[in-house]
Amino acid sequence: MAAEYPSAAALYEAAKVVRDAGFKRWDVHSPYPIHGMDEAMGLKKSWLSAVVLAGGISGLLTAATMEFGPSSFLYPLTVHGKPTNFFTVPAFFPIMFELTILFSAFAAFFAMFIMNGLPRLHHPIFNWERFSRATNDAFFLVIEARDPRFTEIEARNLLEKSGGQHITIIHED
C-alpha cells in the first residue's frame, strides 16, 4: 500500500508515525536524501561497515602473504641491496594499501548488491503510474503486504492519519 506526501517534511513526520506503529517491511522514496530519515524510520546501523572491514583485512592479508611468501621464504632474492626479511616492508606497503582498498571496495559493492536485493529487473511499485515521479518531485511511503502487522484497514488508517494522499493498493502484476 503506497501513499504520496506533499513535502520532505511531511514524509519525515509520516515515517515516524509508521515506525512507532511497529511496521518492519516498509520504505520511503524521495528524489534526494533526507537528513535524519534513518532515525525517523528507526533504522539501525547497517552491517555494511563490518563487511567492508572484513574485505579490507582480507585484502591486507592477501597482499602480505603474496609478498612475504615468495620474497622472504620461497625464493628470497636480494634486490638493490635491500633485506629480504621483515624490514623490506616499505617496498610492500603500496601493494598492501592497494589491495586493502580494492578488497574493501569489492566487499562494499557486492554487499550493497545483496542488501538491496539486486539484480532485480522489475518491482511491483512501478505498476503505479504516480510513482514515476519519485525521482523527480514527489515523496512516497510504501508499506508492503508481507509485513506481519499488515492489514489493509490498519495500513490505510495509518497512512491517512499521517497525511498521505492518493493512497493506493499496488498489486503484484
Partner 1 sequence: MSDRSQALPTPEGEYFESNRFAGLSVLLGSVALVALAFSVVGAMIDPHQFSFSWLFAFGFFFTLCAGCFFWIIVHYATDADWSVVVRRQLENIACLLAVMAVFFVPVLFLRHHLYDWLNIPPGKEAALDSKRAYLNWNFFVVRAIVFFGLFVLASQLLRRFSVRQDKDGNQQFTIWMRKIAFASLPMFALCLTFGACDWLMSLNYRWFSTMWGVYIFAGAAGSSMSLLVLVITALRSAGYFKNVVTVEHYHIMGKWMFAFCVFWAYIGFSQYMLIWYGNLPEETQYFLVRNTESWWTLSMLLVIGRFFGPFAILLLRSIKKQPHRLCYVAGWIVFMQMLDMYIIVLPALHGTGVHVSIWDFVSLVAIGATLGFVYLQIVAKASLFPMRDPRLIESLKLTN
Q: Give the binding site for partner 1 (CB under 8 A).
A: 7-9, 12-13, 34-36, 39, 45, 49, 53, 80-81, 90-91, 93-94
The alpha carbon of residue 153 and the mean position of all alpha carbons in its chain are separated, in whole angstroms, by 31
Q: Which residue lies nearer to partner 1 by CB, 1 or 52? A: 52
- Between 27 and 38, whose beta carbon lies closer to partner 1? 38
Could you give the strand order of the β-sheet that contains 26-29, starting from the edge strand earlier in sequence?
Answer: 26-29, 139-143, 2-5, 165-168
- For partner 1, give the closer residue by CB, 2 or 11: 11
In the complex, the smallest distance separating the C-beta of residue 9 from partner 1, rounded to whole angstroms, is 4
At 67, give phi and psi (nearest 5°): -90, -55
- Beta-carbon count within 10 A of 47 CB: 10
Q: How far is the C-alpha of 91 from the C-alpha of 45, rounded, in Å?
A: 37
Judged by DSSP in three states, 37 sits in helix
Q: How far is the CB of 124 from partner 1 (least distance, A)?
A: 30
- Closest to partner 1 by CB, 97 or 113: 97
- Joined together, the cell numbers standing for residue 68 give 612475504
| C-alpha–C-alpha distance, residues 4 and 163, integer Å | 9
Smallest distance from the beta carbon of 4 to partner 1, in angstroms?
Answer: 18
Give least dist CB 77 to partner 1, A. Answer: 16
Q: How far is the CB of 146 from partner 1 (least distance, A)?
A: 30
Which residue, among 10, 8, 9, has the nearest Cα to 164 in the 3D structure? 10
Residue with Cβ nearer partner 1 (92 or 150): 92
